[in-house]
Amino acid sequence: MKVKQTYFIIILTIFIATGCSSNSDYEFYPKPLSGQKIVLPKREYKMYQSNCNYSFDIPYYSAMDTSKGNCNADLVLPPFNATLFLTYIHIDTNLMQNIEYSRKLAYDHSIKADAIEEAIVKKPEQKVYGMQYKIVGNTASQYQFYVTDSVNHFLRGALYFNAKPNYDSLKPSLDYILTDFEHLIESLQWKNKE
């Protein structure tokens, strides 16, 4: 029994001595951190003509879902697994109510948001005025906007990704999409301008 213990201790000592050698040919390198590879689609646009008094350019990689049957539509963005929900309202006397409600919906995300960056939309030649809200942080919606001609038309949009909110992971996609939304607002035309 003592012989077996002696052999075991000798073999264990040899393994420890050779395993802890600092002259090893192999060096340990941790796997570098990386994220999901994002393939961004080519930036091209096509005209979307709504039956509800507005038109604008949408990206070729997207599609409009008008199956709701009213003036509300969804701009579906399959490469990014996201949707821009659009609501159109014909203004009668409720402009300030719609503006305040849109602001409230954007600021409802302030509980989880790190910041909410506002940008004014002002295009007098197209009679397009409004506000954009870029919501920074792990919130359900990272971008919202409203635009109006202040007389007849009011259009509101809210972007939602079909994924768990993780702002750091979504930021590259969000930055790409926001450029397309800038173009959407830039190209917006009201049908019955007054």
CA–CA distances in Å: residue 174 to residues 3, 35, 170, 181, 192: 70, 15, 6, 10, 32
**In the prediction, which pLDDT does 157 show?**
95
Q: What share of the chain is helix, strand, coil (3-state, %, to 5)?
A: 30, 35, 35
Residue 127 is encoded by which pair of tokens? 């009679």
CA distance 104 to 45: 31
Q: What domains are there in the chain, each with its CATH number?
A: 45-190 (3.40.1000.10)
- pTM, two decimal places: 0.77
Better pLDDT: 180 or 1: 180
Please state, for a pLDDT cut of 70, what percent of the chain lies above it.
91
Cα dihedral 47, 37, 115, 111, rounded to 10, equals: 100
Residue 79 is encoded by which pair of tokens? 């490469």
**In the prediction, which pLDDT does 19 show?**
65
Calculate mean pLDDT across residues 124-139.
93
Mean pLDDT of the chain: 87
- For 168-185, write each residue's pLDDT tens digit: 888 888 999 999 999 999
**In the prediction, which pLDDT does 25 show?**
62
CA distance 149 to 193: 8
